[in-house]
Amino acid sequence: MASKKKYGERVENFSNKAARELLSLIEHKKTNLSLALDVTTKREFLEIADKAGPYICLLKTHVDILVDFDQDFIEQLKELRTKHEFMIFEDRKFADIGNTVKHQYSKGIYKISEWADITNAHPLPGDGIVSGLKEVGLVLGRGLLLLAEMSSKGSLATGAYTEAAVEMARRHKDFVVGFIAGRKLISDDDKEDFIVMSPGVGLDVSTDGLGQQYRTPRNVILESGSDIIIVGRGIYGSDKDVAVEAQRYRDAGWKAYLERLAN
Ligand code: 5BU
């Protein structure tokens, strides 16, 4: 069952700083839209982020696809974060043993833990992946999402695997704040809460020819009980007016949430 609680009322369910901040931000900015900004140059990225900024709660990045990534990019990203009041989610999909992911998270060129409020990991390697990331991220107030499901056709993250992801999250509630999934994964319970974010959201097309599968904001938020819609090419794809499309998805996501509360 989808949560009947307002985003703001759920803040108290979390000890994690990033989760609390995100739910408060969604409540006051009135948007459950995350932009998945998969462009490959700094200039394009920063331009689009500036246009969509007023309408999103969370900017989802893949910094390793930028051909001209540098420290200046991070500085400018942080400026936009403050200007528009959104949070940052690096969709890194860590998938290695704890010791390795600890370094991948904090070191290398990207130093993800320094600027990303939220990142994510595959539960595949077992609890060590969460423990390793937690060693770095918890003191910095960061949060982690586990990939319990994927939006792509033929995904193997189903059934017992998805259930095991939920159990893993339950063992690390201070750091694991939620899931990437297509639906709410636990039944309503006052004692536990996880934030569910769903990629594969689009209003105009149903696939991308490479296995992506799109559902509507209404389907994801109202019918499936997810909390945040993640939209990429639906907003910045060719011939799109970024501000117009961002508002359109913001409105659709929020309307579905209000309907869920009223139902
Ligand atoms: P799109 O342009 O709206 O299709 O972009 C979707 C984004 O979400 C893209 O950055 C993917 O890497 C990301 N994604 C996804 O599409 N499906 C998943 O299951 C996960 C992430 Br996890």
Tens-of-pLDDT digits for all 263 residues of the chain?
567 899 999 999 999 999 999 999 999 999 999 999 999 999 999 999 999 999 999 999 999 999 999 999 999 999 999 999 999 999 999 999 999 999 999 999 999 999 999 999 999 999 999 999 999 999 999 999 999 999 999 999 999 999 999 999 999 999 999 999 999 999 877 679 999 999 999 999 999 999 999 999 999 999 999 999 999 999 999 889 999 999 999 999 999 999 999 98
Domain boundary assignment for the chain: 5-260
Is-catalytic flag, 117?
no
Q: Which long-range contacts (CB under 8 A, 24 or more apart) does 42-45 make?
A: 42/66, 42/68, 42/69, 42/70, 42/72, 42/73, 42/76, 45/73
Which amino acid is it at 22? L
Q: Which residues are annotated as a binding site for substrate?
A: 38, 60, 151, 212, 232-233
Question: DSSP character for 89?
Answer: E
Predicted-assembly ipTM surpassing the 0.90 threshold: yes
Q: Token pair of 167, please?
A: 């159990």
What is the pLDDT, as a whole number, of residue 238? 85
What is the pLDDT, as a whole number, of residue 263? 82
Q: Which residues are annotated as a binding site?
A: 38, 60, 151, 212, 232-233
Question: DSSP character for 8?
Answer: G
Its pTM stands at 0.98
Residue in 26, 110, 104, 95 with CA at minimum distance from that of residue 61 = 110
Residue in 82, 79, 73 with CA at minimum distance from that of residue 110 = 73
What is the pLDDT, as a whole number, of residue 227? 98
Question: Rounded to whole angstroms, what are the CA distances from 84 to 25, 51, 55, 88, 111?
Answer: 11, 10, 9, 12, 23
For ligand 1, which residues put their CB under 6 angstroms from it?
36, 38, 62, 91, 147, 150-152, 180, 199-200, 208, 212, 230-234
CATH 3.20.20.70 fits 5-260, yes or no: yes
- Among the options 17, 30, 42, 96, which is catalytic? 96
- What's the CA gap between 167 and 248, in Å, rounded? 36
Q: In Å, how far from its chain's centre is CA 94?
A: 14
Q: Where are the alpha helices (DSSP H) in the chain?
A: 17-29, 42-52, 71-84, 98-106, 128-137, 159-170, 217, 233-236, 242-262
Question: Rounded to whole angstroms, what are the CA distances from 198 to 20, 66, 82?
Answer: 19, 23, 25
Is-catalytic flag, 91?
yes
CB 233 within 8 A of CB 207: no
What is the pLDDT, as a whole number, of residue 243? 98
Substitution candidate for ligand 1 out of 230, 238, 242 with most atoms within 8 A of CB: 230
What is the pLDDT, as a whole number, of residue 1? 58
The residue whose C-alpha atom lies closest to atom 10 belonging to ligand 1 is 36
Residue in 208, 223, 232 with CA at minimum distance from that of residue 256 = 223
Substitution candidate for ligand 1 out of 34, 35, 38 with most atoms within 8 A of CB: 38
Is-catalytic flag, 30?
no
What is the pLDDT, as a whole number, of residue 191? 74
> Which residues, other chains included, contact 216 with Cβ-Cβ below 8 Å and sequence gap of 6+?
201, 202, 203, 252
